[in-house]
């Protein structure tokens, strides 16, 4: 199959199962497997299921990335959010109050999937003024670690632009860790973000509360926007609205 669209979940199924090209991958940290899924993030020998509280949907992405990425186009969504890849459907038509027609909507989106060379779809960005100021406002416990990430990223990617300059000067932020892109581009992003996050784990605060403990997912959202800036001149970056099911 040409497409893989990973739909990350962490709780018992709430809606009708999605068909290919969607693969619903549920987290199974601490040995608990919510009912209703065929694939779990610890179904594979290589996985970071036990880190799901930090990595959120990235734990499911990691399992698929290191074990089964033989597709031309690869996407990441959530059990309650997908990218609207159908340019002919107004996003207001997808403002849903429940999961009741999630499969119908998902099938419509799947019918719009196509193989595009060097293309990367991502959620329509928000203008937040300055990404670093916005991050400090919502994640003050993580400010030091976020700044530390700039130098770690530069050491790992000395040939790439400065993360610090980007985050200080850019206010364009695509949220939710959602994308659909050419395999080479998705692979590039995964290499960048997992190398960075695994290194930052060594310095992550140990006293974070429930929400702030999801630091890896928060960092990935910002670094996804930074990645978009890196590839903007060489790839087709296409912004699409998010379909929300709750």
Write out the residue range of the structural domain in which residue 180 sits. 3-244
Q: What is the pLDDT of residue 128?
A: 94
DSSP string across 180-229: EEEHHHHHHHHHHHHHHHHHHGGGS-S---TTGGGHHHHHHHHHHHHHHH
Look at the alpha carbons of 82, 83, 87, 93 in this order and tell me if their dihedral is positive or negative.
positive
Q: What is the pLDDT of residue 75?
A: 97
Q: What is the pLDDT of residue 206?
A: 87
Q: Which residues contact 106 (CB under 8 A, 6 or more apart)?
A: 18, 22, 82
212 vs 35: CA distance, rounded Å: 27
Q: What is the pLDDT of residue 96?
A: 53
Q: What is the pLDDT of residue 174?
A: 94
Number of domains composing the chain:
1
116 vs 93: CA distance, rounded Å: 26
Beta strands 22-26 and 126-127 are unpaired
- pTM of the entire predicted model: 0.94
Mean pLDDT, contiguous 10-residue spans, the chain (246 residues): 92 90 90 88 92 94 89 95 81 61 89 94 94 96 97 98 96 94 97 98 91 96 97 96 85
Q: Could you identify the residue written with the tokens 């996804």?
A: 224
Q: What is the pLDDT of residue 243?
A: 87
74 vs 117: CA distance, rounded Å: 12
**pLDDT 10s digits, 82-110:** 999 987 766 555 555 567 888 988 998 99
């Amino acid at each position: 199959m040409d497409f893989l669209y990973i739909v990350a979940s962490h709780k018992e199924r709430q809606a009708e199962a999605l068909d290919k090209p969607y693969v619903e991958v549920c987290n199974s940290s601490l040995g608990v497997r919510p009912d209703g899924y065929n694939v779990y993030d610890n179904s594979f020998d290589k996985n970071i299921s036990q880190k799901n509280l930090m990595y959120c949907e990235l734990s499911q992405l990691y399992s698929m990335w290191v074990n089964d990425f033989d597709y031309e186009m690869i996407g990441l969504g959530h059990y309650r959010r997908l990218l609207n890849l159908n340019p002919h459907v107004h996003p207001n038509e997808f403002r849903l109050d429940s999961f009741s027609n999630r499969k119908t909507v998902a099938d419509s989106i799947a019918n719009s999937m196509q193989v595009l060379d060097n293309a990367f779809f991502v959620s329509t960005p928000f203008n937040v003024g300055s990404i670093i100021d916005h991050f400090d406002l919502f994640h003050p416990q993580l400010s030091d670690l976020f700044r530390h990430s700039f130098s770690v990223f530069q050491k790992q990617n000395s040939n790439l632009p400065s993360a610090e300059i980007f985050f200080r000067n850019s206010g364009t932020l695509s949220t939710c860790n959602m994308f659909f892109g050419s395999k080479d581009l998705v692979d590039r992003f995964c290499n960048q973000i997992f190398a960075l996050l695994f290194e930052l784990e060594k310095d992550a605060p140990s006293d974070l509360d429930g929400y702030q403990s999801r630091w890896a997912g928060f960092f990935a959202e910002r670094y996804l926007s930074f990645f978009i800036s890196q590839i903007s001149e060489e790839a087709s970056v296409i912004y699409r609205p998010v379909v929300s099911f709750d």
